[in-house]
Amino acid sequence: MARTLFDKIWDSHAINTIDGGPTQLYIDRHYCHEVTSPQAFDGLRRRGLKVFRPERTICSPDHNIPTLNQDKPITDPVSRNQVETLTRNASEFGLELFGLGHPKNGIIHVIGPETGLTLPGYTIVCGDSHTSTHGAFGAVAFGIGTSEVEMVLASQCILQPKPKTMRISVNGKLRDGVTAKDVALYIISKMTTGGATGYFVEYAGEAIRDMSMEERMTVCNLSIEMGARGGMIAPDGVTFDYIKGREYAPKGDAWENAVAYWRSLASDDDAVFDKEVTFDAADIEPRITFGTNPGMGISVTEAIPSYDGDDETGRASYMKSLEYMGFKPGEKLEGTPVDYVFLGSCTNGRFEDFKAFASYVKGKHKSPDVTAWLVPGSWSVLRQIKEEGIDRILADAGFELRQPGCSACLAMNDDKVPAGKLCISTSNRNFEGRQGPGARTILAGPLVAAAASVTGKITDPRKNR
């Protein structure tokens, strides 16, 4: 029977299936950060349990860590307590920890792939919704809740209902100046924030295949923002080249055997998905959001649309979102002044994102009206930025690099956008207060962010290269 890529991985990890209920699924890799794990470890203590397979769990603090002066104690007491608690729990239960100051520390969804801990064919979980990032490697990766974190720590398994399958194909080639972030925001705007609820999405098509691994991670990272349980892309030569030689990747004969298996990880030609959706890459332009969810998006040159539904509750919600942002239907945002620019997060905090940003600002200078936070996703990314001379290009253009962390993706650390200020952000969510109480967030890719940081306003990056 023909099977999808998702079915092949899921079925090979299924221990038991309850009739009419969930699957007991074996988990290959568990990533653990400081926010969703404390209660899980407390649960183990109450039950007198150890971590069943400690070598399968990797810990790293990321949400609460500062992006300046990481060599000094964390000043915020809540953040400090969460980071210190993870350190104690990792030590007590014998787990590997890439703690604050560790050369492999960083955002958990950045360090997993770059170290070779994330591999094709794996089942991967973390107490974080953007675990879908790892699906770019041909893995079944999804976020879990705190009680499920405890379940995985105790048994290396999880009870999970099997999602339906969806394939989203992006056919043709992308236009110049269009990034993977633009592709993802375009898809979400068409699918809506609930359009993939209940599905696990496989991305396919020429535009997806032409992407680098870092670009594929961006697309899969945002799958959750249209309601999907996760997103994935079949592994290929691009995947294998990225993984080869990384610290935790297979070596020698084990590498050859692994690649032979990974080559089998593709949906069969006659596999049937529960839903198929197709987009034309030529229709995608640089994108921005205008509301308070990632589905409220337009191209950077378009006007904000009017609400076109019949539901009065939906209309009221739509207008409330625009009121929060200070925008109106029919308004064009190109040329709107910008206060903050944030480059970073598990969506766009990788080396290629900084390289793209630098390619735009080279020979230009940061606007004096813009506060720019450029935050690498890991210490490894920061080292590569320096090795490739990207830091000098940024410095010449008036930018400063901060230390790695989740930073201004969410208001759980010192990097908070002040109330009322407008931020162009390469992160993944633009909810009310996401970047700080009263902060206004416009999601965009690294090129749109770079253009805004130079011009001081929302700018089509294709017009001022």
pLDDT digits (tens, 9 = 90+) for 110-168: 999 999 999 999 999 999 999 999 999 999 999 999 999 999 999 999 999 999 999 99
Residue 411 is predicted with a pLDDT of 95
Please name the residues in contact with 112: beta carbons below 8 A apart, sequence gap of 6 or more: 29, 31, 58, 118, 124, 134
Helix (H, G, I), strand (E, B) or coil at 389: coil
Alpha helices in 48-179 (DSSP H): 77-93, 108-115, 146-155
Mean pLDDT for the chain overall: 97
Residue 20 is predicted with a pLDDT of 87
Longest dimension (CA), the chain: 63
Helix (H, G, I), strand (E, B) or coil at 246: coil
Kind of pairing, strands 123-126 and 164-171?
Answer: unpaired
For 10-62, the pLDDT digits (tens) are: 999 999 998 889 999 999 999 999 999 999 999 999 999 999 999 999 999 99
Neighbours of 190 (CB within 10 A): 15
Examine the pLDDT at 464 and tell me if it is beyond 80: no
Residue 262 is predicted with a pLDDT of 98
Please name the residues in contact with 92: beta carbons below 8 A apart, sequence gap of 6 or more: 41
Confidence class for position 1, pLDDT limits 50, 70, 90: confident
Residue 403 is predicted with a pLDDT of 98
For 228-279, the pLDDT digits (tens) are: 999 999 999 999 999 999 999 999 999 999 999 999 999 999 999 999 999 9
Residue 173 is predicted with a pLDDT of 98
